[in-house]
Amino acid sequence: MSVAAEAPFVLRSDAAGVTTLTLNRGERFNPLSEEMLAALQAEFKAIALDDSVRVVVLAAAGKAFCAGHDLKQMQANASEAYYKSLFQQCSKLMLAIQKLPQPVIARVQGLTTAAGCQLVAMCDLAVASDNASFAVSGVNVGLFCSTPAVALSRNISRKQAMEMLLTGDFIDAHTAMQRGLINRVVSLEQLDTCVAELAASIIAKPAVAISMGKQLFYKQLEMGVDAAYQLAGQTMACNMLDASAQEGVQAFLEKRRPDWS
């Protein structure tokens, strides 16, 4: 058995409230195989129950972030039942990211294609190096990126999403930022520092407010404006009753820093 085969599909490290999950098949561009999807799902399930985790960073080993689904594995299991099961498994993972109480930051260091773009789009935030590139390129092999389209179209405009989906062409990191797929672009040397600063800014806020806010944000996007305002008002009322908000408001009125320890 090779070293790569023996190695875990996902590596986890924890430090100061930040959990980093690293896709660990860099030699193969970190495809979302059945095993990779299952490993990520297990990690997110555990993290959701871990109050010590305040922010999750999704990173990748090697030159590429994620090249999408494992085409070799898909070709070796050519049946409608298998494909439906695989895409359901992938969709379950993507929704787990959105449902996670903690914010998830994608750390994108290189090439990202197809379901890899879906993975970035489903993360709450994304920081990329200036040599990263993005494409929903399934159409180039005759497979329209239908499931990545769900996430992509919720990040960038319809016509920009359709252009990427119909052509399979790559965009660079700066274009991805301009279109709203990622938040920040920095040099590869600055990538870890930028991600750490973003995580620290989030950790400095109360966990309750962050968790409630994330949940509200995604729910209201799928609602009509009246229902969205009703849910937002209810969420703010519950948030305001929390001790951390009471302390924050009192500290503001007293012109001091809040004590959330």
Domain spans in the chain, listed from the N-terminal domain onward: 3-203, 207-253
pLDDT tens for the chain, residues 1 to 261:
454 457 999 999 999 999 999 999 999 999 999 999 999 999 999 999 999 999 999 999 999 999 999 999 999 999 999 999 999 999 999 999 999 999 999 999 999 999 999 999 999 999 999 999 999 999 999 999 999 999 999 999 999 999 999 999 999 999 999 999 999 999 999 999 999 999 999 999 999 999 999 999 999 999 999 999 999 999 999 998 999 999 999 999 999 999 988
- Note the CATH number of domain 207-253: 1.10.12.10
Amino acid in position 229: Y
CATH architecture of 3-203: Alpha-Beta Complex (3.90)
Q: Return d(Cα 202, Cα 166) in angstroms, integer.
A: 36
Beta carbons within 8 Å of 26's beta carbon, 6+ residues apart: 60, 61, 62, 63, 64
Position of tokens 């290189």? 110
